[in-house]
Structure 1
Amino acid sequence: MEKLIEFRRYPLDRILDKLLIDKTTSKRIIWATDGYSEYGENYCDRFEITPGALAGINPVLIQPRAFKALETQQQRTKSKAEVFTPSWIVNKMVNHLDEEWFGRSDVFNIEKDQTWETETEKIDFQGKKWKDYVDRSVLEITCGEAPFIVSRYNATTGEIIPIEERIGILDRKLRIVTENTGSEEDWVKWAKRAYESVVFVN
């Protein structure tokens, strides 16, 4: 599998410290697992994750849940109530939200068993406004790796999902922005509004 996250490269190298802040406590997020304890005491369950641990001289290779041993996944489920939702179920649930908003099904893709086929034509809003879709507020309260927001990889297989086939709420909003803006300035403005409309709590 290709590397999902490169903490030492732009833009993550500029914002990593901010990304590691827990918005509730204003402290850094914790490891919440002993899966990285082989790196030392500061990599255990209740210790904070530091930028140096992820991008320093000897960075830790963070694994998505799909690549962790089944026993580790089961232990996390028992100790932290951590579960993951397969991408095809995420797609089905986000499709349901869109079906209610648009008043019709199969807007972004057509479900096929445990996968989907992306609709490649520009989204037709049929009397609704694309700006309203982008501005629509969404709260995700159990995000973990945030597959309902962004779907960079398939949580079941670990395979990268190509940008044009992604299924998260923010993925869809950004597609709409791309399809309906004509300048870089306009795209940045509406992409920012798309980000501002999505709130997640972990």
Structure 2
Amino acid sequence: MWATDNYVQFGDGYFPNQEILPELIIGKYTNIIQPRVLKNLEEQFKRTRDKAEVFTPLWICNQQNNLIDEAWFGKSDVFNYSEGITWKSNLEKIVFPNSKKWQDYVDARRLEISCGEAPYLVSRYDTVTGEQINLENRIGLLDRKLRVVNENVVDAKEWLKWVVRAFQSSYGYEYQGDNVLLARENLLLTFVDYYEARFGKKPPLITTKKIANIVAWNIWQMDGITMTAPFSEAIPQYQQLSIFDILGENESQEKVAVPCKVHDWRAQRTIEFKSLIKGV
């Protein structure tokens, strides 16, 4: 629930208080659902052992994202260059190849698989060390799109249009439900960070909710092997039940997991994710 009490008033409008946004997203479980870096070592080891959960240091995320951009731009070190286990940001305006426009880069779809807290998409902090990252040094794929929008758009309405498109083209899925919440939180707070840096104030509630809706669609919970929603197996609704089913004596009923869907924002249609995979 979006409560007015949780917003700060500017003029005749109300804007989300960044300090309480995590509570708005996670609700009463704010102190239970925590980033990996805040979990005790025993819990971290348990999740690694039981769920194969391993988080990648941000400097490695940066190097891998740089390889993606190297393939797209046809040259290396576009946004930054690595210096051991850190990096040095390129502060000059990004130059695009003659055959491509900055709009093409913003619209290019990016998907982070098994995204955890989504460090490949947004890099508000290092998921391993907890170190906070300032805007000019962020290395996420969505961070890079937002930087490109900042560098190429002056008009506020046009800026928001292309920021929305940047979010619409950034996807991620994750098996663990708590990580899905944290990833969504990180994307939404990233929007707040960039909006505030650009305009010197919090974004309007209606705009924040628009971005939140995109994030809710684009960051979803999924078993990456079956491409279905975890723990969703059920008897299909159209299947005829017998008296033995009602009494719980028939254990041979086939159960089917719910397939995950994603939204194609350009085509304005919803499709099953597995339909995007060749050979499935």
Fold equivalence (TM over 0.5): yes
CA deviation profile, 1:12-45 (whole Å, cap 9, x unmatched): 768977x5xxxxxxxxxxxxxxxxxxxxxxxxxx
1:53 equivalent in alignment to 2:25? no
Structure 2 match to 1:116: 87
The verdict on how the C-alpha distance between 1:190 and 1:15 changes in structure 2, with shifts beyond 3 A counting, is farther
User: Aligned partners of 1:11 and 1:191: how far apart in 2?
Assistant: 20
- For residues 1-202 of structure 1, the aligned pairs below 5 Å read 10=16, 51-54=27-30, 60=31, 62-127=33-98, 128-202=100-174
Q: Which has the greater radius of gyration?
A: 2
The verdict on how the C-alpha distance between 1:136 and 1:114 changes in structure 2, with shifts beyond 3 A counting, is same
Q: CA deviation at 1:200?
A: 1.0
> Across the two proteins, how many residue pairs are aligned to each other?
159
Q: Contact 2:117–2:127 (CA<8 Å) still a contact in 1?
A: no
User: Aligned partners of 1:140 and 1:198: how far apart in 2?
Assistant: 8
Give the AA of the match of 1:142.
S
Identity percentage of aligned residues: 50
Question: CA RMSD for the aligned pairs?
Answer: 2.1
Q: CA deviation at 1:69?
A: 2.5
Q: Which has the higher strand share?
A: 2
The verdict on how the C-alpha distance between 1:66 and 1:139 changes in structure 2, with shifts beyond 3 A counting, is same
User: Aligned partners of 1:173 and 1:186: how far apart in 2?
Assistant: 14
Q: Which runs of 4+ in 1 moved over 3 A?
A: 11-17
User: Aligned partners of 2:172 and 2:94: how far apart in 1?
Assistant: 26
The alignment partner of 1:139 has SS state of strand
Runs of 5+ consecutive residues of structure 2 not aligned to the other structure: 1-5, 8-15, 175-280
The alignment partner of 2:91 has SS state of coil
TM-score, L = length of structure 1: 0.72
